[in-house]
Amino acid sequence: MTETERILEQLKRSFYKEAWHGPAYLEILDGITAEQASKHPIKNAHSIWEIALHTMTWIEAVRFFPRYK
């Protein structure tokens, strides 16, 4: 397994299942409604919705970023 493959495997695990750090990202979000995710229960803190959008934006940025050799 190359280092790139290892990193990709760890990234997949952190999102889907068997993450090294505890529950995976999507496991934590499972069952959360859009209404719940959009709320701001803590003043001046980001909502779940905002954090998820931020995460997905960076995933897409990395996915489409030109690769340099």
Q: Nearest 5°: phi and psi at 19?
A: -70, 145
- Quote the CA–CA distance of 29 and 2 in Å, as a whole number: 30
Each residue's pLDDT, cut to its tens digit, for the chain (69 residues) gives 888 888 888 888 888 888 888 999 999 999 999 999 999 999 999 999 999 999 888 878 777 776 655
- Cα 65 from Cα 47, distance rounded (Å): 27
The total domain count for the chain is: 2
Confidence at residue 21, expressed as pLDDT on a 0 to 100 scale: 86
pLDDT of residue 8: 82
Residues 49 and 60 in one domain: yes
Report pTM: 0.71
N- to C-terminal Cα separation, the chain? 20
Q: Which domain holds residue 21?
A: 1-30
Judge if 19 and 41 occupy the same domain: no
Domain identity same for 36 and 66? yes
Q: What is the pLDDT of residue 7?
A: 82
Six-digit token pair at 2? 């190359």
Residue with tokens 């493959």: 5
| Co-location of 26 and 37 in the same domain | no
Q: Which residues pair with 19 in a beta bridge?
A: 22
Same domain, 4 and 26: yes
